[in-house]
Copies of this chain bind each other. A is one copy, B any other.
Amino acid sequence: MADASKPVIVLVRPQLGENIGKAARAMLNFGLAEMRLVAPRDGWPNPSAGPAAAGADVVLEHAQVFDTLAEAVSDCANVYATTVRKRGVTKPVVTPEEAAREVHETARTTGARSAYVFGPERSGLETEDVALARAILTVPINPEFASLNLAQAVILCAYEWSKGAVASGELAQPTQEELLPPAPQEELEGLIGHFEQLLEPKNYFWPETRAAANRLTLRNLLTKPAWNHLEVRTLRGVLSALGNERRPRS
């Protein structure tokens, strides 16, 4: 059983095996061992990863591979999309420090896990990837020289997270059992799918040229609230009612 306070590190479409290895090394320095890979460019396993990991083989050996980011984070309550530049998205922007606090807080109060998502080395995350996340994580950086590589971005996040791990070993804090965590990503996907399924026949996504943008807007809007399991269920009920001709008074 994984320690819920330890975030998953997700690398989306990583290009070089060497960088995957370096990221693994960065992680393990601060006690993080769970890596997930989404469609790594050169397949997996990658013979270049091992040497660059400098001994962090345990991370690489247990790395899981997924086809899509949605699948990779389906069990995670807090999903952070790391980006260098700010995107034109209406999501909270947090620092590594703030994200780390949230990760520990979520684990402590609700037992739910979090994920840090990193994009391909050259291009970073696509807008569609960012749309899956609850928040954007940005390292405040020299505006005239912003050149963090993948492993460096990973190590800063892991380092900030580790501070809380050290602290929580010393302090026993009361838990807030009544707080429910944000629903897992797959429940959120179910909700978004339900909306789309109802809106499609109403021509909401028409004309075709606007469809992708409309879907993205809807997704961002529904991702923002961090609704919990019960709230998502309630909304599904609302949608079912709206989709019905009339709910029978049984």
B90–A172 CB distance below 8 A: no
7 tightest A-B CB contacts, nearest first: A225-B225, A138-B174, A204-B241, A202-B241, A143-B172, A93-B174, A203-B247
Sample 30 A-B pairs with CB under 8 A, ordered by A number.
A25-B147, A28-B142, A29-B145, A29-B152, A30-B141, A54-B147, A55-B145, A56-B147, A86-B178, A94-B174, A139-B159, A140-B163, A140-B172, A140-B173, A141-B172, A142-B162, A142-B171, A143-B172, A152-B155, A155-B155, A198-B242, A199-B241, A199-B242, A201-B246, A202-B241, A202-B242, A203-B241, A217-B234, A218-B234, A221-B235
**Which chain A residues have a beta carbon within 8 Å of chain B's beta carbons?**
25-26, 28-31, 54-56, 86, 88, 90, 92-95, 97, 136, 138-143, 145-148, 151-152, 155-156, 159, 162-163, 166, 171-176, 178-180, 195, 198-199, 201-204, 206-207, 217-218, 221, 224-228, 230-231, 234-235, 237-238, 241-242, 244, 246-249
Least CB distance from A99 to B in Å reads 12
Minimal Cβ-Cβ distance residue in B for A151: B152
Evaluate whether A88 and B201 lie within 8 angstroms (CB atoms) in the complex, with A29-B146, A172-B141, A231-B221 already known: no
Q: What B residues does A176 contact at CB under 8 A?
A: 92-93
Extra inter-chain contacts (9) besides given A142-B172, A151-B152, A204-B238, CB under 8 Å: A56-B145, A90-B228, A93-B175, A140-B163, A140-B171, A141-B172, A143-B172, A207-B249, A224-B225
Residues in B neighbouring A152, C-beta threshold 8 A: 26, 29, 151-152, 155
Provide the bound-state CA to CA distance between A247 and B198, in Å. 12
Q: What's the minimum C-beta distance from A22 to chain B, rounded to whole angstroms?
A: 9
Contact of A231 among B90, B143, B171 (CB under 8 A): B90
Residue ID in chain B nearest A171 by CB atoms = B140
Min CB–CB distance A117 → chain B (angstroms): 16
CA distance A231 to B89 in the complex (A): 11
In the complex, which residues of chain B have a beta carbon less than 8 angstroms from the beta carbon of A227?
A: 221, 224-225
Of B90, B163, B203, the contact of A179 (CB 8 Å cutoff): B90
On chain B, the residues within 8 Å of A155 by CB distance are: 152, 155-156
Interfacial chain B residues near A151, Cβ < 8 Å? 152
Chain B residues near A198 (CB-CB < 8 A): 242
A55-B147, A56-B147 given; A234·B247 CB < 8 A: no
